[in-house]
Amino acid sequence: MRPLFFIAGVSAVLLAATLLRYSAANVIPVRLYRALVAWSLFLLLWEGTLYLGIFSSMLLASPSVIITKTLFLLEKGYLQANIIATLGRFLAGFSIALVMAVPAGIAFGLFGKAYEWLAPLLNFIRMIPAPALLPFAILVFGIGEGPAVFVIALGSFFPVFLNTVRGVREAERLHIEVIQTMGGNGMDVLRHVIVPSALPTILTGIRIGFGIGWLVLVSAEIVAADSGLGFMIEGARALLETPTVFVGMATICALGLAMDIFLKKIERFFILRRGGDLLTSQSNSTERNKPTICSEGRLWKWS
Amino acid sequence: MHGSYFPAMEREDIIGSPLFIFILLLLCVTLAVARWLFPRAVSPSLLKGFLVASGLLTVWEILLFLKLLNPVLLPPPTRVFSNIVYLWSIGFLQPQIVSTLFRLSYAFVLALLSAVTLGILIGYFSGRFSSLESLIDAARLIPAPAWLSLAILWFGIGYASAIFIIWLGCFFPIFLNTVNGVSKAEPVQVETVLTFGGDKFDVLLEVILPVSYHHILTGARIGLGIGWITVITAELASVDIGAGLGWMIQDSRILLDTTTVLSGIIVVGMLGTMTDLLLKKCERFVQGWS
């Protein structure tokens, strides 16, 4: 793609959006329009400075070059292979973390005494950055997928686990007693009170865990992998293939964005379904979101 | 090449397994007695943590003493402990700790200054934020290690690249929390200051900063956690050759020196806990202040 074509195209999109926004039709929402303006001005500035030769094209690839390179890599099948490798590794590690962290968190949340004994040790292990265990994992699991999956699982385990414990411990005593008075057993309490009231906190933990897992994934791929987007970036850097570095970063960003939006949608769905207020339940203060999450009457809507 | 950097690998265990277990037991008893005598001085979480940790170390030690695990892959605690003491005594560990902490604190302070300033500015003029939001969101979702290759292209191999990506890792949590904190300022309080003849600067000092302290500190703690991950990644990827705990861990791995790998991991964990506790202390200090 020629730089001038790119500049003309982006300008045309910007112009069309402005016309649509301020014409009688007024079809474009404000948020979308603002995002469009910010992005197109940013892209124009980026492309323009490189076109005028202000920055060296060795150090910074222009958007038009990145698009050309992306198409080329897609045609060769190189980009798809790396995306699949990255996603497979990430999903393996992340799902191991979820499968272990949520049941363990519920168990330790229910048995608070046991948690108090383990918490200091867990807090120490939590403070070891997951990539630091990568060399050790290589020694134990050998070179291959094992070390990367292990550190991704470790990185995303703790946010999910700690949030699950917190969510379970914050379940209302009153609701539990109501179920018990009505003759429900432990399983009923778990199903009708503990899991529903802890769910928003667990989902927040999953989203934080996703962020950390994604970070650790890229770091593991840069340090110890022979496939994946991180490997692609680092390999391209060694060859001074600046456009490929940018293609890799843009792909990582797009995949992260897609998963972040997906997780936010799930979180939103479950919180709104329970009649909670999205804004207050996302704040850090536990006192503030307690009444909204466990609002009486709404609790029964869940089951 | 290795010999010039690394100390000779001949070292002896300074402590035997039975003695180690005995000392752990003695410490546990001492702590329990101390807790019984002075309940204020020894916190219950310290005692519980120590008991669980020493139980685990004892099991680990015994498993290796009975040769049930391979000591090449998982050396016993006594050997790891002796190794830490040995590396410290020959003066090899200290430069690694200093260079890791220097990188981290340099970038962290830079991130704190830049993110708080920008966050307050953008949060204060929040009308402008919505148009920048999508750009910031996109930048936030590229993990800091992904910038490593670009940083090497831009700044070359050395301190600058490492500090750039650590700064980037710390920046976003602090920045987003600051923006969030500034937006929590109550309009009533802002208007009260304005009614009493204060200007915008007074609003900033009297309302916005006290309200956002907690959010900034929460962001700082998250940022520091990500900063630790990033600094170790930078050192594992040898952004700066020949210094840092991450580099020490990676190089010992290549030598199959699992003892030093584990020693490095434990030292990193202790330093991380200490920096986190330091920020927690700051949080308590500010809580009493505002």
All structural domains of chain B, each given as residue ranges with its CATH number in brackets, are 2-76 (no CATH), 93-289 (1.10.3720.10)
CA distances from B63 to A140, B58, B75, B76 (A): 17, 8, 10, 9
> Is the confidence at residue A126, as pLDDT, over 80?
yes
Q: Which two tokens stand for residue A92?
A: 């393996």
SS (H, E, C) A160-219: HHHHHHHHHHCCCHHHHHHHHHCCCCHHHHHHHHHHHHHHHHHHHHHHHHHHHHHHHHHH
> Is the confidence at residue A294, as pLDDT, over 70?
no
CA dist., res. A76 & res. B57, Å (int): 52
A283 pLDDT band, cuts 50/70/90, is very low
Mutation site, B28, B132, B141, B215, interface A, largest A CB count within 10 A: B141
Give the CA-trace dihedral at B107, B110, B114, B119, to 10 degrees. 60
Asked if A61 is an interface residue toward chain B (Cβ–Cβ < 8 A), one would say no
> Is the confidence at residue A223, as pLDDT, over 80?
yes
Pick the residue from chain A with its C-alpha nearest to B139: A253
Where do the H-state alpha helices sit in chain A?
3-22, 30-51, 63-76, 78-110, 112-126, 134-141, 145-169, 173-181, 186-189, 195-223, 229-238, 242-273, 278-282, 286-293
Residues of B in contact with A134 (CB under 8 A): 236
Neighbours of B123 (CB within 10 A): 22
Pick the residue from chain A with its C-alpha nearest to B154: A59
Contact A132 B137 (CB under 8 A): no
Q: Which two tokens stand for residue B202?
A: 């007074």
Pick the residue from chain A with its C-alpha nearest to B51: A117
Give the closest residue to B73 by CA, choosing from A154, A152, A138.
A138
Q: What number is the average pLDDT over the span A26-31?
A: 77
- The pLDDT score that the predictor gives to residue A298 is 32
Pick the residue from chain B with its C-alpha nearest to A138: B253
Neighbours of A246 (CB within 10 A): 22
What tens digit of pLDDT does each residue of A152-163 get?
999 999 999 999
Contact A135 B45 (CB under 8 A): no
> Is the confidence at residue B164, as pLDDT, over 50?
yes
Pick the residue from chain B with its C-alpha nearest to A252: B142
| Residue for token pair 């981290």 | B104
The minimum CA-CA distance between A60 and chain B, rounded to whole Å, is 9
Q: What number is the average pLDDT over the span B245-258?
A: 87
What tens digit of pLDDT does each residue of B82-122 get?
888 888 888 888 889 999 999 999 999 999 999 999 888 88
Residues of A in contact with B56 (CB under 8 A): 121
Interface size, chain A vs chain B, as Cβ–Cβ contacts under 8 Å: 176
> Is the confidence at residue A10, as pLDDT, over 70?
yes
Residues of B in contact with A132 (CB under 8 A): 232, 236, 245-246, 249, 264-265, 268
pLDDT above 70 covers what percent of chain A? 89
Neighbours of B160 (CB within 10 A): 14
Asked if A129 is an interface residue toward chain B (Cβ–Cβ < 8 A), one would say yes
Contact A234 B264 (CB under 8 A): no
The minimum CA-CA distance between A98 and chain B, rounded to whole Å, is 20
Q: What number is the average pLDDT over the span B154-176?
A: 90
Where do the H-state alpha helices sit in chain B?
2-5, 17-37, 44-65, 77-89, 93-124, 126-140, 148-155, 159-183, 187-195, 200-203, 209-236, 245-254, 258-289
> Is the confidence at residue B33, as pLDDT, over 50?
yes
Which residues 6+ apart lie within 8 Å of B237 measured at CB? A219, A222, A223, A234, B145, B148
Q: Which two tokens stand for residue A211?
A: 């962020």
> Is the confidence at residue A292, as pLDDT, over 80?
no
First to last CA, chain B: 55
CA dist., res. A128 & res. A222, Å (int): 19
- The pLDDT score that the predictor gives to residue B80 is 87
Residues of B in contact with A217 (CB under 8 A): 143
- The pLDDT score that the predictor gives to residue B228 is 93
- The pLDDT score that the predictor gives to residue B163 is 92
Q: How is B148-171 classified by DSSP, letter by letter? A: HHHHHHHH-SSHHHHHHHHHHHHH
CA dist., res. B141 & res. A249, Å (int): 10
Considering only the C-alpha atoms of chain B, give the largest distance between any 2 of them, rounded to a whole number of Å: 78
- The pLDDT score that the predictor gives to residue B1 is 35
CA dist., res. B258 & res. B256, Å (int): 6
- Amino acid at position A118, single letter: L
**Top-confidence residue, B200 or A69:** A69
A274 pLDDT band, cuts 50/70/90, is low
- Is residue B148 within 8 A of residue B165, CB to CB? The reply is yes
Q: What mean pLDDT, rounded, does chain A reach?
A: 83
Q: What number is the average pLDDT over the span A204-230?
A: 90
**Top-confidence residue, B290 or B173:** B173
Q: What number is the average pLDDT over the span B233-253?
A: 84
Among A48-52, B109-113, B209-213, the range of highest mean pLDDT: B109-113
CA dist., res. B232 & res. A245, Å (int): 21
> Is the confidence at residue B289, as pLDDT, over 70?
no
pLDDT above 70 covers what percent of chain B? 92
Which of left, alpha, beta for A29 (phi over 0: left; psi -120 to 50: alpha)? beta
Least confident of A225-239, B241-255, B257-271: B241-255
Pick the residue from chain A with its C-alpha nearest to B273: A127
The minimum CA-CA distance between A75 and chain B, rounded to whole Å, is 24
> Is the confidence at residue B287, as pLDDT, over 70?
no
Contact A245 B153 (CB under 8 A): yes
Considering only the C-alpha atoms of chain A, give the largest distance between any 2 of them, rounded to a whole number of Å: 77
SS3 (DSSP) at A220: helix
Q: What number is the average pLDDT over the span A139-157?
A: 89
The minimum CA-CA distance between A234 and chain B, rounded to whole Å, is 6
Asked if A54 is an interface residue toward chain B (Cβ–Cβ < 8 A), one would say no
Least confident of A30-34, A151-155, A290-294: A290-294
Neighbours of A217 (CB within 10 A): 32
**Top-confidence residue, B14 or A156:** A156
> Is the confidence at residue A213, as pLDDT, over 80?
yes
Q: Is the complex ipTM higher than 0.90? A: no
DSSP B181: H
Give the closest residue to A154 by CA, choosing from A103, A221, A215, A83.
A215
Q: Which two tokens stand for residue A51?
A: 């076109």
